[in-house]
Amino acid sequence: MAGRDFLHRLPDSELAFARRQAWLRRLHIDLPLLVLVLLVCGVGLVVLYSAVDGNPDRFTSQLTRLGLAFGVMFIIAQVPPRTLRRWSAPLYLVGLALLVAVLFFGVSAKGAQRWIDLPGLPRFQPAEIMKLVVPMMLAAFLAERRLPPRFGVLCGALALLAVPAVLIAVQPDLGTAILVGGSGLAIILLAGVSWRLVLAAAAAGLAALPALWMVLHDYQRQRVLTLFDPESDPLGAGWNIIQSKTAIGSGGLYGKGLLQGTQSHLDFLPESDTDFIIAVMGEETGFLGVMALLVLYFLLITRGLYIATRAPDAYSRLLAGSLSITFFIYVFVNIAMVSGLLPVVGVPLPLVSYGGTSALTLMAAFGILMAINTNPKMLRA
Amino acid sequence: MMDAFTLRDHDAEARLFTGRVMVIWCLVVVAILVLVLRLFQLQVVEHERHAVQSDANRIQVQPIAPTRGLIYDRNGILLAENVPVSSLTIVRERVPDLDATLTALAELVDLTPAEIERFQRRLRERRRPFEPVPLRLQLGEDEIARIAVNRYRLPGVEVEAQLIRHYPFGEFTAHAIGSIRRIARADLERLDPVQYSATRYAGRLGVERHYEQHLHGQVGYQRVETDARGRITRVIDRKPPVAGKNIQLHLDLKLQLAASAALGDRRGAIVAIDPSTGGILALVSKPAYDPNLFIGGIDPKSYAWLRDHPDTPMFNRAVRGQYAPGSTFKPIVGLAGLNHGETNWERTIRDPGYFRLPGQTRMYRDWNWRPGGGGQGIVGMQRAIYRSSNTYFYDLGVRLGIERLAPFAAEFGFGERYVLDLPEAVNGLMPTPQWKRAARREPWYPGDTVNLGIGQGDMLVTPLQLAGATAILAARGQRHTPRMLLAADAELEELKPMSLNPVPLADPKDWERMAEAMSDVIHRGNRGYGQNGTAWAHIGMDVPYRMAGKSGTAQVVGIPQGLRHDDLELTERQQKHAWFIAFAPLENPEIALAVLVENGGGGSSVAGPVAREVLDAWLLNRLEGPIVAGN
């Protein structure tokens, strides 16, 4: 067999690998990212199956949404980053318009005005779109200028960030505001703002905390107070956090076994299939199960950051880095809040919590990452 | 679009970016380590604490009440049973809006204002948290169904199936066996909180109280898993309760009913004892009440009626009613005189119809005293008994003196506790100089001894005590502590043989002669005026067996010197109490009893026939006739 064709002296296995790489590249798929996303979704579905407690409708509904989200990911992956970059500013303006519209025409649910109901479209949260559009806009804005950005540019970027973040925060949707704000700050950090400025800003932020306290809603203040002393109101505000800590802690090293969690299945744990789902996992699969999920998340984020460093242009770099960091903020804020390290804010556990909109935006973000990683020939701007 | 005057160094930007990513990646690692440490803290370091908390969340230990022991009469007839009822209860702690719940319930069940008021009263009483408070004790099938359908909108409302105590013979056995009551504030201090954690009722009176610890049984528990709303999802494990011990009483229900019938509607008491064992065969106190009323929760109006009724139906005259024994005490005074050699069967006195202490003018009258006459002539011990001569016993009492009479009477249980298992029984009063000094701050006068010779004065006895003393007379001095308990499922302390020494008597033949004298009270007849037994004409003419007896009357008001009892215009409540003690058959007594008819008048004429009826029932009709439950 050997030597017949010089060009094909590569071993068969490597040849197959190279062919597959080329094929995946044509389809704009990043295999490590895809595998990791599939693994997280798989783990998430198993935990969700337990958390919805035998409610098959909720499980199949989530399965459908994830399928749809995968479709969106593949479609977005086909969009060249330069197209995204061109669309950044128009999408940002549309997003802002929708956020303003929510303020006036939004539909209320659970005491917050977050949804918008356009005829012919399913009800959706404009804030959710901003999780993608704000990093796109900031990346586009900064990539057009010299990096690291000068002070004036920085102020412009902060303004572009502050307007949607404030609009979201007043809905109120503190969780999404934090994620949007985080994504924007991540871009600014990645763009190379001097550490001196970063530290100064952090100090100013700490100094502004009392002012922030004045702005918070009563229920939000209560959540912060509850974090420090959940036992002060064990049946009221402290209930959620006490029950979630109990659920996680009682899981121990190995957990109580899938479907065996008493805290969740006996309804002691509220929101057990949405924001507090990590408590179900902690209770049923124990420390080791949660560690496994954290490892998957860590690999996913690392892959995202790796893609960012490999990106050919500033826009792609900033966007990929920001999306990866946003994903991590999701993970950190959610687990820290459920385990009692942070006050309760409405941040779901990415790809695991029940909920369609967040799955959709997250998968779209992974689509963008794939598009960036498989489009090396973008023109340098 | 580009910065026009400076060229961008793309490699430098990429390097800067990569540097930033590395820093952020390190921050990510640190942040993930924070999460790992936090989870390690919760799941490994503090695991034990959270696991306990998680179990405490879901697992609740529910006590299960034991089934109360049954009470049978000597023939195996159930006197106290447990019947299943479905009751409507409310756990106050689980009801968000009590008024709304009560309103909703009122549409499903007919709730009377009295029931709601009683419920509200119970809510205010001290009780255990999460204890279901009964609203309605007995629910019908359709009511249970209506509540079941609407349960979802009635949190905290529960239909409980439970066993409750029922006394099938109601008021006929109320004073004999006592009864249970809902555990109240006062009981919580004397009852073991663990053993009674599921028990709602405890013995309050009588046998039910005395044997409470045996009848109650041992509490069981089940550990159940509940969800966040307190609903039981499964039973984890269960330690079944141990049912209380069943007990059997000496009481004979048929005799009890016969005695009750014999007393009729009169106020009074009957206690009948088997002299060979001390077993109480019947214990009647009239009027009585239905103890079942208290188990369902009696409404305040009915309770007030029972409490305030002038005939005091809740008062147990048989064990707590204290009366002067009157002439029924004479056989004991006689035996005391014989024992101490102050008299004998041959000695006689002349009875002018009264007795005077030497050097005093006050007349202590005989019952047949008339101004300027009366008296029974020559009286010896035997005649003094069957004619019930006061003069003879005034004299004998004085000869004995209180120092010898009181201790001798105490041998028969007077002034003492002489019953095994009736906790409410009182001791009566055997007056002594020490007692009088302490209680009245007065010295003992010779006149006190005179009165004591015929069972008057300060002496008080209960019908139970007098029946106990009669049983000693019947058993010729053998003593067996009166008792209710005949047998039990367990080896109770009360069942162990207890030997009491017989009452010491100098000449034991005197027991037999005293019994003979007492039988003359009944059987000596057709001898002409002043020669017949006092009870012969009333009950003695046709007795088909040989019995012994003694009548007595206890004065309620003092009679001024120079007047006869009949001369006074007395209200009903001032009339004398009628006593009769008896035992039969004479030679080998199977029953001894004491009958009291409050304000009944003559002992022989009023109490005598009652005693005769009870003896007849025991000795003649023992196994005839069906038992009909009271209610």
Contacts of A186 in chain B (CB under 8 A): 24
Please tell me the predicted confidence (pLDDT) of residue B562.
60
Question: How far is residue B410's CA from residue B465's CA, in Å, rounded to a whole number?
Answer: 11
Q: Which two tokens stand for residue B567?
A: 């001369």
| Residue A376 forms contact with B (CB below 8 Å) | no
Please tell me the predicted confidence (pLDDT) of residue B624.
53
Please tell me the predicted confidence (pLDDT) of residue B299.
78
Closest-CA residue of chain B to A335: B35
pLDDT in tens, A15-53: 777 787 788 888 889 999 999 999 999 999 999 999 887
Please tell me the predicted confidence (pLDDT) of residue B126.
65
Q: Does A378 have pLDDT greater than 70? A: no
Please tell me the predicted confidence (pLDDT) of residue A294.
96
Q: Which of B21, B22, B53, B58 to mutate to test the interface with A (most CBs of A within 10 A)?
A: B21
Q: Does A4 have pLDDT greater than 60? A: no
pLDDT, greater one: B142 or B404:
B404
Contacts of B228 in chain A (CB under 8 A): 266-268
Is B17 close to A298, i.e. CB distance below 8 A?
no
Q: Which of residues 55-94 of A touch B (CB under 8 A)?
A: none
| Residue A184 identity | G
Contacts of A144 in chain B (CB under 8 A): 1-2
Closest by Cβ to B42, choosing from A309, A321, A339: A339
B327 belongs to the catalytic site: yes
Is B53 close to A249, i.e. CB distance below 8 A?
yes
Q: pLDDT grade, residue B631 (50/70/90)?
A: very low
Is B225 close to A252, i.e. CB distance below 8 A?
no
Show me where the domains of chain B are located. 61-249, 317-489+501-574
Average pLDDT value for residue range A118-132? 82
Q: B15-29, B291-305, B351-365: which has the highest mean pLDDT?
A: B15-29
Closest by Cβ to B50, choosing from A186, A250, A380: A250
What percent of chain B shows pLDDT beyond 90?
58
Cβ(B396)–Cβ(B333) below 8 Å: yes
Question: How far is residue A86's CA from residue A315's CA, in Å, rounded to a whole number?
Answer: 11
Q: pLDDT grade, residue B82 (50/70/90)?
A: very high
| Residue B93 forms contact with A (CB below 8 Å) | no
Q: Which two tokens stand for residue B562?
A: 């120079």
Please tell me the predicted confidence (pLDDT) of residue B167.
95
Cβ(B197)–Cβ(B63) below 8 Å: yes
| Residue A147 forms contact with B (CB below 8 Å) | yes
Please tell me the predicted confidence (pLDDT) of residue A323.
95
| Residue B621 forms contact with A (CB below 8 Å) | no
Please tell me the predicted confidence (pLDDT) of residue B561.
63
Least confident window among A157-166, B296-305, B306-315, B334-343: B296-305
Q: Distance from A215 to chain B by nearest Cα, in Å?
A: 28
pLDDT in tens, B189-224: 788 888 888 888 899 999 999 999 999 999 988 888
Cβ(B272)–Cβ(B252) below 8 Å: no
Cβ(B522)–Cβ(B537) below 8 Å: no
Name beta bridge partners: B283. Answer: B271
Q: Which of residues 7-46 of B touch A (CB under 8 A)?
A: 8, 10, 13-14, 16-18, 20-21, 24-25, 28-29, 31-32, 34-36, 38-40, 42-44, 46
Q: pLDDT grade, residue B24 (50/70/90)?
A: very high
Q: Does B507 have pLDDT greater than 80? A: yes
Q: Does B519 have pLDDT greater than 80? A: yes
Q: Distance from A192 to chain B by nearest Cα, in Å?
A: 7
Please tell me the predicted confidence (pLDDT) of residue B130.
64
Average pLDDT value for residue range B289-307? 86
Q: Distance from A333 to chain B by nearest Cα, in Å?
A: 10
Closest-CA residue of chain B to A297: B32
Please tell me the predicted confidence (pLDDT) of residue B2.
46
Closest by Cβ to B31, choosing from A291, A318, A332: A332
Residue carrying structure tokens 């009635």: B154
Average pLDDT value for residue range A101-105? 85
Q: pLDDT grade, residue B449 (50/70/90)?
A: very high
3-state SS of B232-297 is: EEEEEEEECCECCCCEEECCCHHHHHHHHHHHCCCCEEEEEECCCCCEEEEEEEECCCCCHHHHHC
What percent of chain A shows pLDDT beyond 70?
93
Please tell me the predicted confidence (pLDDT) of residue A377.
55
Please tell me the predicted confidence (pLDDT) of residue B499.
75
Please tell me the predicted confidence (pLDDT) of residue A339.
92
Q: pLDDT grade, residue A55 (50/70/90)?
A: confident
Please tell me the predicted confidence (pLDDT) of residue B3.
47
Is B17 close to A380, i.e. CB distance below 8 A?
no
Question: How far is residue A258's CA from residue A273's CA, in Å, rounded to a whole number?
Answer: 14
C-alpha torsion B560→B564→B570→B573, nearest 10: 90
Q: Which two tokens stand for residue B68?
A: 């109360």
Cβ(A93)–Cβ(A326) below 8 Å: no
pLDDT, greater one: A296 or B140:
A296
Average pLDDT value for residue range B168-178? 94
> What's the whole-number average pLDDT of chain B?
88
Q: Distance from B233 to chain A by nearest Cα, in Å?
A: 8
Q: Which of B40, B50, B93, B232 to mutate to test the interface with A (most CBs of A within 10 A)?
A: B50
Q: How many CB pairs under 8 A join A and B?
A: 148
Q: Which two tokens stand for residue A6?
A: 């010089």
Contacts of A249 in chain B (CB under 8 A): 42-43, 46-47, 49-51, 53-54
Question: How far is residue A100's CA from residue A91's CA, in Å, rounded to a whole number?
Answer: 14
| Residue A356 forms contact with B (CB below 8 Å) | no
Which of B179, B327, B388, B551 is labelled catalytic? B327
Contacts of A302 in chain B (CB under 8 A): 25, 28
Least confident window among A24-33, B122-131, B313-322, B385-394: B122-131
pLDDT in tens, B107-142: 888 888 888 888 888 887 766 556 778 888 778 788
| Residue B465 identity | Q
| Residue A109 forms contact with B (CB below 8 Å) | no
Average pLDDT value for residue range B420-446? 93
| Residue A192 forms contact with B (CB below 8 Å) | yes
Please tell me the predicted confidence (pLDDT) of residue A110.
67
Closest by Cβ to B228, choosing from A186, A267, A298: A267
Please tell me the predicted confidence (pLDDT) of residue A5.
54
Closest-CA residue of chain B to A329: B28
Is A250 close to B14, i.e. CB distance below 8 A?
no
| Residue A379 identity | L
Q: Does B156 have pLDDT greater than 90? A: no
pLDDT in tens, B536-568: 999 988 999 999 999 999 888 766 666 665 656
Please tell me the predicted confidence (pLDDT) of residue B4.
47
Q: Does B30 have pLDDT greater than 50? A: yes
Residue carrying structure tokens 């004409």: B537
Please tell me the predicted confidence (pLDDT) of residue A197.
87
Average pLDDT value for residue range B254-278? 95
| Residue A181 forms contact with B (CB below 8 Å) | no
Closest by Cβ to B32, choosing from A144, A287, A298: A298
C-alpha torsion A185→A191→A196→A199, nearest 10: 20
Question: How far is residue B339's CA from residue A119's CA, in Å, rounded to a whole number?
Answer: 118
Q: pLDDT grade, residue B1 (50/70/90)?
A: very low
Q: Which of residues 274-333 of A touch B (CB under 8 A)?
A: 282-283, 286-287, 290-291, 294, 297-298, 301-302, 305, 308-309, 314, 317-318, 321, 325, 328, 332
Please tell me the predicted confidence (pLDDT) of residue A95.
93
Q: Does A381 have pLDDT greater than 60? A: no
Is A268 close to B58, i.e. CB distance below 8 A?
yes
Question: How far is residue A163's CA from residue A341's CA, in Å, rounded to a whole number?
Answer: 28
3-state SS of B186-201 is: HHHHHCCCCCCCCCCE
Contacts of A274 (CB under 8 A, 6+ apart): A348, A353, A354, A355
pTM over 0.90: no
Q: Which two tokens stand for residue B589?
A: 């007594």
Architecture of the structural domain at B61-249: Alpha-Beta Complex (3.90)
Q: Does A70 have pLDDT greater than 90? A: yes
Please tell me the predicted confidence (pLDDT) of residue B229.
65
Is A309 close to B225, i.e. CB distance below 8 A?
no
Q: Which CATH number is associated with domain B317-489+501-574?
A: 3.40.710.10
Contacts of B24 in chain A (CB under 8 A): 186, 189-190, 305, 321, 325
